[in-house]
Amino acid sequence: MQLLDGKSLAKKIEESVTLQAKEFKTRTHRVPGLAVILVGHDAASQAYVGMKKKACDRAGFYSVTHEMPDDISQEAIIKTIEMMNDNPNIDGILIQLPLPSHIDTTKILEVVSPSKDVDGFHPYNVGRLATGLDGFVPCTPLGVMELLREYNIDPKGKNCCIVGASNIVGKPMAALLLNANATVEICHIFTDDLKKHTLAADIILVGAGVINLIKEDMVREGAIVIDIGINRASDGRLVGDVDYDAVAPKTSYITPVPGGVGPMTIAMLLSNTLKAAQNHGENV
């Protein structure tokens, strides 16, 4: 069993992005810029945004966070996004999810300019991913692909079982693996007999938000397990969706939680923001 160390790879990617950002500044006399919209006071969202801000600072990016109250109107959020779409100092716009229930999340995501959609959630970028064209890819599944590449794990021809069908992780993960010529299966809350599907998989990728969903008897010997889940256990520990202690000895590779996929998500946000800045070049 070998750990897929996302923490060390994320550091390597961040160092590369930092160097490229310096070169970009020398060439264009500006730095990549990221704007975040944070609505409400969700503790997890605030923590994530804080981590993203620190990462931007380390990479030499310009970053700004628009903090908004829970009861803000949809129109006010849209107006702020449109302002950022027009701001030449902003290359990437990130809407921290989830949004309050009175806000139409789909509508908000559609307002973001596709060229600044560093989260890869705009239908334009979703469509480009589905058809194998270049665009912005959601950071978490993109980070998983980078992790596989780092450890020379080629998904081509492998049976991949994705557990969780969200727009943020499951669906784009499936598209990326399909584009890499893997055989892909997506399981979700309505899937009958999840164990039957996971046992047939060479690679299991789980992001369902359920502690210990994947048990030892659901994983075949030598499988690769990518735990994308992040949950707070009753004792305060951060844990994934995999019963790690029981499952790990059966695997050939496995991601730890924390320290696996999580750090990669922020590293890919930096990478996507740099890509947006390079695309915009001097002509923003």
Q: Give the catalytic positions in this structure.
A: 52, 96, 119
Q: List C-alpha distances in Å: 99 to 35, 38, 104.
A: 16, 8, 8
Q: List C-alpha distances in Å: 188 to 24, 170, 175, 199.
A: 42, 9, 16, 15
Give the integer Cα–Cα distance in Å for 177 and 154: 10
Long-range contact pairs involving 166-169 (C-beta distance under 8 Å, separation at least 24) = 166/207, 167/121, 167/126, 168/97, 168/121, 168/138, 168/140, 169/138, 169/140, 169/141, 169/207, 169/228
Which residues, in sequence order, are bridge partners of residue 29?
A: none
Give the integer Cα–Cα distance in Å for 15 and 92: 19
128 contact partners, CB below 8 Å, separation of at least 6: 134, 135
* Phi, psi torsion values for 65, nearest 5 degrees: -115, 125
